[in-house]
Structure 1
Amino acid sequence: MIERIETGIAPSSAPINDAVRAGKHLWLVAIAEDPVSGEIVAGGIEEQTRRCLDNLQIALEAAGGTLRNLVMVQIFLVDSADAPGMNAVYREYLTVQPYPVRATVVVKELLAKKLRIEITATAVLD
């Protein structure tokens, strides 16, 4: 049984979810969209990474979890030069071992042209 987690971030009119749960497992996606305005945040990779991780945290909390529940993170960047800035912000949020497994991939582009980063993640809830 798959359950949609209501985070208040993804538009309810779109055929997408930003978090779903099946049992103790949670799958999430986060982009650099301000949950209040619905706009992509202004700024560079640091601001967009921070917004993605804040949105990921909001979704995890809506499901009863925290960043400590993450087991896998996939990061999609449009420019490999953004990796150091993304990593600096990522280190601010994920500070305790064991860290989740992570893959970082550089892609040609993301669907929303202003996006420099998109994050997907898997978590296991207690």
Structure 2
Amino acid sequence: MTIQRINSPVQSDLPISNAVLAGQTVYTSQIPRDPATSKILVDADTLTQVRQTFGNLESALRAAGGSLADVAQLTIYLTDPDDFAEMNQVYGEMFEAPFPNRATVIVKALMVPGMRIEIQAHAYLGGIR
């Protein structure tokens, strides 16, 4: 099986791929990075960071030939349990039933100070390919 890097609109300047396709499965991790500036929105409020992160997820999946409907599993990392309600609100706007399997994990910190959310997702494109 070959692993193919997905050229989504949001890319990191670190030696990582923000999305890869392995067989018919997309593996992606997303953060609140603005695709227009490549800056991580560390000074933005929670809702802005959450919306940007989910928007980046949707863009990565589209670049792979899929959509949010193809997501099988999400792991959402938050730095503050008080952010859960806003994250869940955006999640409910972005996904429809049947919803993906999801875990939400509260962590002490994420990679960049001020970053409040990171999402890891696995999506199966078997119905498309």
Instruction: Letter of the 1:112 partner, please give it.
Output: V
**One-letter amino acid matched to 1:74:** T
**2: CA distance, partners of 1:14 / 1:113:** 16
- Whole-Å Cα distance in 2 between the matches of residues 110 and 17 of structure 1? 18
AA in 1 matched with 2:79? V
Query: Aligned partners of 1:117, 1:50: CA distance in 2, in Å?
Result: 10
Partner of 1:32: 32
Aligned-partner Cα distance in 2 for 1:107–1:26: 24
For residue 3 of structure 1, what is the aligned residue in structure 2? Answer: 4
Identity within the alignment, %: 40
Shift of 1:43: 2.5
Residues of 1 paired with 2:20 and 2:63: CA distance? 11
Unaligned runs of 5+ in 2: none
Deviations 1:65-85 (A, max 9, x none): 000000000000001011011
- Number of aligned residue pairs: 124
Alignment of 1:90-101 (within 5 A): 90-94=91-95, 96-101=96-101
Partner of 1:119: 119
> C-alpha offsets along residues 79-115 of structure 1, whole Å, 9 cap, x if unaligned?
1011011111111111x21100000000000011120
Query: In structure 2, what residue type is equivalent to 1:119?
Result: I
What residue is the counterpart of 1:48 in the other structure?
Answer: 49
Cα deviations by residue, 1:7-30 (Å, 9 ceiling, x for unpaired)? 13113x521011001111110111
Structure 1: which 5+ residue stretches go unaligned?
Answer: none
After TM superposition, the score normalised by the length of structure 1 is: 0.94
RMSD: 1.0
Conservation of the 8 A alpha-carbon contact between 1:40 and 1:114: no
Matched residue SS, 1:47: helix
How far the C-alpha of 1:40 sits from its partner, in A, is: 2.1
Normalised to the residue count of structure 2, the TM-score between the two structures is: 0.92
